[in-house]
Amino acid sequence: MERPTKTGAGSWVDVGLKQQARMNVLVLPLTRVTLRLKNYEDPQAPYYEAEAVSKKAPRIEKGLYWGYDVRIAQNLKEMVEEGTYDHIMLCNHSNESYNLP
């Protein structure tokens, strides 16, 4: 989000809630970050204090679903045989059908 901060004061982040969050790391506008909000329960706080965490933190620490990863496989066989996915979604522009295991 493009909101000015003092040099060395980090970044303001729109977290989709009533208040904005301030994190201690400088990031470019429109950069996706996963944050831990430190004062989320304080209704009097003028903003949320936040720290950047790994995108895996919500799932590891609390067992929460937190988005998904997208990748492009070189071919369908590689993707199916790799077997490291919870779900596979195929987009097919040629109207071919596939019998997947």
Q: How far is CA 97 from each of CA 49, 68, 70, 82, 85, rounded to the nearest angstrom?
A: 50, 25, 22, 20, 20
Percent of the chain with pLDDT over 90: 19
What average pLDDT does this structure show over 90-101?
67
pTM above 0.85, yes or no: no
Sign for the CA dihedral angle at 90, 86, 70, 11 comes to: positive
Rounded Cα gap, residues 11 and 32, in angstroms: 12
Can you list the domains of the chain with their CATH numbers?
11-82 (2.40.50)
pLDDT of residue 98: 64
Token pair for 73: 């496989």
What average pLDDT does this structure show over 38-64?
89
pLDDT of residue 76: 74
Question: What does the mean pLDDT of the chain come to?
Answer: 80
Q: Which of 26-35, 39-48, 61-70 has the weakest average pLDDT? A: 61-70
